A = this chain, B = another copy of it.
Amino acid sequence: MVDSTITAREQVTSSKSLLCELLRQFYQLGWCTGTGGGISMREGAGYIMAPSGVAKERVQPNELFEMDRDFAITNLDSLENKKVSECEPLFRAIYEKTDAGAVIHSHSVNIVVALSHEREIPGLSWERLEMIKGIRGAVYTDKHVVPVIKNTPRECELTESLTACLEKLPNNAHGIFVRDHGAYIWGRDVMEAKRHAEVYDWLCQYKNATTR
């Protein structure tokens, strides 16, 4: 008798393949050139996370980190020489403070240019654009605000301000933009996180093209 149920291990393998496929797609969109950017998702009771400092479009499934519910790496043996993403504490804060099932870190130049337009405002906002509806819960006629925080010399130092920002997140925001840096964007699962990242990128492209 053949058991057709997908085992937990097969599920991990399948999720890892999907993450690598998405990293290649994000590279082509310009979100993770220069080894920047990253991705992670919940898997079972734990997490899967991309490695740091490698060409993201070339990451293979066996190079991804597996972590338990406490973010302890469980497959370190097979990953010597690799370093987990520097974003780890930031990803972790987002998992702990929101309902995120996946988090994407984008270095898209579209986002960083949009952040350069008005340096004093506490958030970027859009209203009455159809694409806003691509963000879960966002209402077409309301102003959709994504908070902006300042960058810090080291990525791990961002944790404090990002955590503070997560505590008072504007309605339906599913991302935090980091000035001079990029964005952290999340969703209930990895496909929703991807949808949100595409929507925010479109909205920044639109802002850049219509702001003079």
Contact = CB atoms under 8 A, between A and B. Distances in A.
Nearest to A197: B34
Interface string A144-173: 000000010111000000000000000000
A180 interface: yes
A94 to B, nearest CB: 18
Q: This chain: how many copies in the complex?
A: 4
A107 B55 contact: no
A30 B201 CA distance: 11
Interface in A36-59: 36, 55
B113 A34 contact: no
Given A129-B180, A141-B153, A153-B141, A36 B134 contact: yes
A117 to B, nearest CB: 9
Q: A-B pairs with the 7 shortest C-beta distances?
A: A130-B181, A34-B134, A34-B199, A33-B198, A34-B198, A113-B209, A140-B153
